[in-house]
Amino acid sequence: MKLKEAFQKLSSLNLQLADIRLLLEHRYRINLNDCFIDSEIEISDQDFQKVYNLLKDDYPVYYLIGFLDILNIRVFLNETVLIPEIETEEFIYDYIFKNCDLNNKDVLDLCTGSGFISLALKKHYPSANIIASDISNDALATAKKSAEYNQLNIDFRHSDFFDEIHEKFDFIISNPPYIPDNSPYLKAKYSPSLALFAGEDGLDAYRKIFPSIDRYLKSNGVACFELESPNADKIYKLFITFNQNYEIRIVNDMNDRPRFLVAHKIINRQE
């Protein structure tokens, strides 16, 4: 198949030009900067048809590309991890980087998945001590590959929520599964359900995490949780049920939807 035909077919799937470029570059070693689309370059029909059918079936283009360059790091991606969301990137860049100094701090990234949050934090705060945990060994293997590639030293740990975590932290961040079980989630078909779904109302992970937060947070520590905006009120109430002495703010995303709960521990009752 000629490159031009392949390009037209990919464009018809409403892919972004930047994503088509990346796909052609990393799957077929074709650099669009070095050639014209109507050049005589050929692409293997068989492989392209496979790629096209997958994309038509909502297979995420970044699983085919295999990585995403974001916040100065390369995050490797496959079906064992979710693709980092723009809201998470925005929160890290616009909220954490601007408001928190995590250098020399003990940090926990609970439910790390691709490792995106830990990798971005370690890159920005080289002297932070970061533990990144997940229950999925496959996700951890993918995250470790990214850490090695980016030469970032992160302590990855296999753990069912806090089960294998024994340290205390200045900063805990978590983007846990939060989609209600029956919610029609567009990209769920090829993404790990373990990373998405959290019970009938989507709150099961928070129910497991929130009762332990105070025990794992040092005095003056901060805990941040990504959340699904329709559940923001419920998650706020759930948090204060288990953790009373906290200053809490809900941070909105660029579309002004509540997407993050940030809780600052103001009194330490345990140390």
Ligand X SMILES: C[S@@+](CC[C@H](N)C(=O)[O-])C[C@H]1O[C@@H](n2cnc3c(N)ncnc32)[C@H](O)[C@@H]1O
What does the alpha-carbon distance between residue 11 and residue 114 come to, in Å, rounded to a whole number?
A: 28
Q: Should residue 146 be labelled a site residue for ligand X when binding is judged by CB under 6 A? A: no
Which range binds ligand X by CB under 6 A, 6-14, 27-35, 60-68, 172-180?
Answer: 172-180
Q: Which stretch binds ligand X (CB under 6 A): 14-22, 48-56, 94-102, 106-114?
A: 106-114
For ligand X, the closer of residues 44 and 193 by Cβ is 193
By CB under 6 A, is residue 141 in contact with ligand X?
no
What does the alpha-carbon distance between residue 229 and residue 232 come to, in Å, rounded to a whole number? 5
Q: Is 82 in the site for ligand X (CB under 6 A)?
A: yes
CB-nearer residue toward ligand X: 7 or 178 = 178
CB of 164 to ligand X, least distance (A): 10
* Nearest Cα to Cα of residue 216 among 150, 266, 265, 146: 265
Number of residue whose CB is nearest ligand X: 113
Helix or strand holding residue 187 (H, E): none
Give the Cα-Cα-Cα angle 82, 86, 88 (nearest 5 degrees): 75
Nearest approach, Cβ of residue 122 and ligand X (Å): 14
Interacting positions 180-199 with ligand X (CB under 6 A): 194-195
Residue located via tokens 């329709």: 230
Number of residues that bind ligand X (CB under 6 A): 20
Is residue 35 within 8 Å of residue 42, measured between CB atoms?
Answer: no
Taking the least distance from each CB to ligand X, the nearer of 15 and 194 is 194
CB count in 10 Å sphere of residue 248: 13
DSSP string, 35-78: S-TTSS-B--HHHHHHHHHHHHTT--HHHHH-EEEETTEEEE--
The reply to whether 139 sits near ligand X by the rule CB under 6 A is yes
Q: Which residues bind ligand X (CB under 6 A)?
A: 82, 84, 88, 111-114, 116-117, 134-136, 139, 160-161, 175-177, 194-195
